[in-house]
Amino acid sequence: MLIMRKKYRYFIIAAVSIILGLTFATKLIFNSEPAQKSVLLVGVVSQNKPYSWHNQKKQLIGFDIELAKKIAKKNNMQARFITGSRKRLYSKFEHGKIQLLFLNQSPAALKKDSYYKTDTYLYQPNVLITLSDHKISDLDNLVNYRIALSNHLNVPPTLQGKHIKFSRYSQSQKMLHAVLEKKVRAAVMSDYAYSAALQKEPLLSAELSKNAPFPPIVSQKIFGITSTNKTLLYKINTSLKTLEEDGTLAKLSQKFFNQDWSKQ
């Protein structure tokens, strides 16, 4: 009888322990916070429409913003954005405070061994603009002239190595007026920037024209810049490939540029 009582007591203790354990586990599951996602630190240029800019509600929007969020999501990460001038972003990147940098042009101020390039994901069309009655059919005709070049562009490969003087401009309107005032022989800017400038000043289209020279002004390859972390680079490139294959890059391009720049 005594043995039976002891067994019964042990049974009750075991049952209570199991119930308490299950109760604790249930509370732990339902009350615990979900694991925090790792952060992807992304640098973007301020007011660089349509790539990145603040709207009237002071929300950061643009192609680069949506692309970064999708890359982060593919890797179970959360994108956190650092904005500023290119100079400020260079400094942040060099001090390890930016992992993925969107400049939309070559990082001339960075040492070549301090970063990796992602795969190209956009091909931005560029145009050569002149006065309508002074069109250019051969780029060699620009030799020894001064050309206006957007701050957002690299010198196009077909203009490199020629004796051409470049004047940098931050605003498309000023570039076009420099052509009108004959301060420069021509202007090179993105097709998007030219269209946006004509929307602001439609009358410019009566005096200025796009040119179709030989060789052509080639598209600018757009790629990201990462820290020298091969694992991160692999993850980003894998995400970019997936976003291209499933049509996401094309959709984002149409949304922000009204054209598909995802294919060369």
Give the tens place of pLDDT for each residue, 108-133.
Answer: 889 989 999 999 999 999 999 999 99
Residue 36: per-residue pLDDT: 67
pLDDT band at 2 (very low <50, low <70, confident <90, very high): very low
Residue 35: per-residue pLDDT: 54
Residue 253: per-residue pLDDT: 97
With 70 as the cut, is the pLDDT of residue 13 above it?
Answer: no
What stretches of 37-164 adopt beta strand conformation (E)?
A: 38-45, 53-54, 60-61, 77-84, 100-102, 116-117, 122-124, 126-131, 146-150
With 80 as the cut, is the pLDDT of residue 166 above it?
Answer: yes
What percent of the chain has pLDDT above 70? Answer: 86
With 50 as the cut, is the pLDDT of residue 77 above it?
Answer: yes
Identify the structural domains of the chain with CATH numbers, from first to last. Answer: 38-122+221-257 (3.40.190.10), 126-218 (3.40.190.10)
pLDDT band at 10 (very low <50, low <70, confident <90, very high): low
Distance CA 95, CA 254 (A): 35
What percent of the chain has pLDDT above 90? Answer: 80
Residue 197: per-residue pLDDT: 96
For helices 230-245 and 248-257, angle between their N-to-C axes, nearest 10 degrees: 80
**162, burial (CB in 10 Å: exposed 0-12, middle 13-18, buried 19+):** middle
pTM: 0.81
With 90 as the cut, is the pLDDT of residue 28 above it?
Answer: no
Which residues lie below 8 Å from residue 57, measured CB to CB, with a gap of 6+? none
Residue 201: per-residue pLDDT: 96
Distance CA 22, CA 25 (A): 5
* Residue pLDDT, tens place only, 210-236: 999 999 998 999 999 999 999 999 999
Distance CA 186, CA 208 (A): 10
With 80 as the cut, is the pLDDT of residue 33 above it?
Answer: no
- Sign of torsion over alpha carbons 145, 143, 154, 261: positive
Distance CA 115, CA 100 (A): 10
With 80 as the cut, is the pLDDT of residue 59 above it?
Answer: yes
- Sign of torsion over alpha carbons 52, 55, 60, 65: negative
Which residues lie below 8 Å from residue 177, measured CB to CB, with a gap of 6+? none
Residue 37: per-residue pLDDT: 76
Nearest to 82 by CA among 92, 73, 95, 72: 92
Residue 26: per-residue pLDDT: 45
Distance CA 48, CA 187 (A): 19
For the ranges 6-15, 45-54, 170-179, 221-230, the lowest mean pLDDT is seen at 6-15
| SS3 state at 83 | strand
Mean of all residue pLDDT scores within the chain: 89
Residue 94's identity, in one-letter code, is E
Average pLDDT score over residue span 159-163: 94
